[in-house]
C-alpha cells in the first residue's frame, strides 16, 4: 500500500480538491493507497473539510494537531502514522503535481528506496524569492556536504527509510535534509511547480527566513564555525594595525589615533555580540532537545474507525 502525506494549514478550499484529485489518479493507476491529511492547527475550516472528505472517501485519514506545530512536525506525524509499504510526502496545495506520484511509485517497484522530486522551475515565484531559495540551499549544501539544489519535500520513501527517520530521537528536525542524510538507493523525478487552483500561499517572507534559520541550526553547526572565522579575521586585522603602529612609533611619526581606536572597539564589540548570539542560539536548541517534549500533539483522528 502507498501512503500519501499531505500537511495542511488553513487549506479549507484545497482539501476536497486534493482528496478527489489524488484518489482519482491513484485509482486509475490501480494503486492501493491511503491519504493522510495532517491539520497543523489551522484557524479556518480545514479540519471540518478533512472530516467531510474522510466520510465520503474511504482512503482519507485525518490527523488534527492541538495547535500549530509547523510543517516539519506535520510531515513527521504523517510518517509515524503511515501504514504503507512506501510513503509520498507532498503539499496539499497540489503545487507538487499529483500525477508524478504514479511515476515515483513505478520507480519504487523497480527497487529504488528514495525517489526525490527535483524542480525544473519554481513557477511564478518572485526574483527575490528565487534568489533567497538558491542562497539557502547553497548554504545548507556546503554546510552538510549534500547537494540539495532544487530539492523539495516532494518525495517517495520506502518503508525502511521511513522507519529510519522515525527512529531518530531529535526534536528539531529538517525533513528535506534528513531524507538526504539517511542515504539508501535513490533516483530523481523532475517536475514543474504547478499553480494553485484555490487559496493562497501561507509562507510570508518573515516565515521563510525563520524557516531557513531554524533548519540550518537544526541540521548544521556551520554557523558556529563562523565565530572561528571572525576570530581569525580579528587576529589578522590586529596584527596589521600592530605592525603599522610599531613602525610609526619607531619612525617617530606616530599620531593620535582616537578615531581608529573607537572604530576598532565598535568593530570588535559587534563581532563579540554576534558570536555570543550564535552560541546562545545553539544553547537554546540544546535546551529544547533536553526538555524532550514531543514534536506534536494529535488531538483528533478521523477516517480510521478502529482508532476513533
Q: pLDDT tens, 9-27?
A: 888 888 888 888 888 898 8
Any bridge partners for residue 4, and if so which?
Answer: 35, 88
Mean pLDDT of 238-254: 69
Virtual CA dihedral for 201, 207, 213, 215, nearest 10 degrees?
A: -50
pLDDT bucket at 87, cuts 50 / 70 / 90: very high
Number of Cβ within 10 Å of residue 275's Cβ equals 16
Looking only at the bridges linking them, the beta strands covering 155-158 and 86-89 are antiparallel
Assess whether pLDDT exceeds 70 at residue 256: no
Assess whether pLDDT exceeds 50 at residue 88: yes
Number of Cβ within 10 Å of residue 127's Cβ equals 7
Centroid of chain to Cα 216: 9
Mean pLDDT of 130-148: 62
Range 19-30 burial, b when 16+ CB lie within 10 A, else e:
bebbbebbeeee
CB 82 within 8 A of CB 163: no
Centroid of chain to Cα 279: 22
What's the pLDDT score for residue 308? 42
Residue 94: CB partners within 8 Å, gap ≥ 6?
14, 17, 18, 21, 194, 196, 197
> Sign (positive/negative) of CA torsion 192, 203, 153, 221?
positive
CB 273 within 8 A of CB 281: no
Report which of residues 121 and 39 the model is more confident about.
39
CB 122 within 8 A of CB 130: yes
Cα→Cα distances 86→104, 109, 184, Å: 10, 10, 14
Composition of the chain by helix, strand, coil, percent to 5: 50, 15, 30
Mean pLDDT of 174-197: 79
Question: What would the pLDDT profile of 96-125 be if each residue is shown by its tens digit?
Answer: 888 888 888 999 888 888 888 887 765 555
Assess whether pLDDT exceeds 70 at residue 179: yes
Cα→Cα distances 270→32, 242, 266, 276, Å: 59, 20, 6, 10
What does pTM read for this prediction? 0.68
Any bridge partners for residue 298, and if so which?
Answer: 65
pLDDT bucket at 306, cuts 50 / 70 / 90: very low
pLDDT bucket at 141, cuts 50 / 70 / 90: low
Any bridge partners for residue 117, and if so which?
Answer: 189
Amino acid at each position: 500500500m502507498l501512503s500519501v502525506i499531505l500537511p495542511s494549514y488553513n487549506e479549507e478550499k484545497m482539501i476536497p480538491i486534493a482528496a478527489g484529485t489524488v484518489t482519482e489518479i491513484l485509482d486509475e493507476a490501480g494503486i492501493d493507497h491511503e491519504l493522510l491529511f495532517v491539520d497543523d492547527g489551522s484557524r479556518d475550516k480545514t479540519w471540518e473539510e478533512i472530516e467531510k472528505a474522510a466520510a465520503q472517501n474511504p482512503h482519507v485519514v485525518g490527523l488534527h494537531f492541538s495547535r500549530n506545530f509547523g510543517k516539519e512536525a506535520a510531515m513527521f506525524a504523517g510518517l509515524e502514522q503511515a501504514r504503507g509499504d512506501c510513503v509520498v510526502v507532498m503539499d496539499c496545495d497540489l503545487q507538487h503535481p499529483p500525477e508524478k506520484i504514479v511515476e515515483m511509485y513505478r520507480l519504487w517497484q523497480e527497487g529504488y528506496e528514495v525517489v526525490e522530486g527535483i524542480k525544473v522551475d519554481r513557477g511564478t515565484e518572485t526574483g527575490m524569492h528565487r534568489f533567497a531559495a538558491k542562497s539557502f540551499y547553497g548554504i545548507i549544501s556546503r554546510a552538510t556536504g549534500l547537494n540539495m539544489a532544487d530539492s523539495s519535500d516532494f518525495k517517495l520513501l520506502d518503508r525502511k527509510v521511513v522507519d529510519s527517520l522515525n527512529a531518530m530521537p531529535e526534536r528539531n528536525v529538517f525533513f528535506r535534509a534528513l531524507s538526504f542524510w539517511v542515504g539508501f538507493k535513490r533516483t530523481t523525478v523532475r517536475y514543474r511547480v504547478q499553480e494553485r487552483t484555490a487559496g493562497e500561499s501561507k509562507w510570508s517572507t518573515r516565515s521563510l527566513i525563520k524557516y531557513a534559520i531554524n533548519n540550518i541550526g537544526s541540521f548544521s553547526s556551520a554557523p558556529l564555525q563562523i565565530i572561528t572565522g571572525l576570530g581569525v579575521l580579528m587576529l589578522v586585522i590586529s596584527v596589521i594595525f600592530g605592525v603599522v603602529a610599531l613602525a610609526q612609533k619607531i619612525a617617530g611619526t606616530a599620531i593620535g589615533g582616537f578615531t581608529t581606536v573607537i572604530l576598532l572597539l565598535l568593530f570588535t564589540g559587534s563581532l563579540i555580540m554576534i558570536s555570543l548570539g550564535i552560541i546562545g542560539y545553539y544553547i537554546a536548541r540544546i535546551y529544547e532537545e533536553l526538555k524532550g517534549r514531543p514534536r506534536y500533539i494529535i488531538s483528533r483522528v478521523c477516517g480510521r474507525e478502529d482508532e476513533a
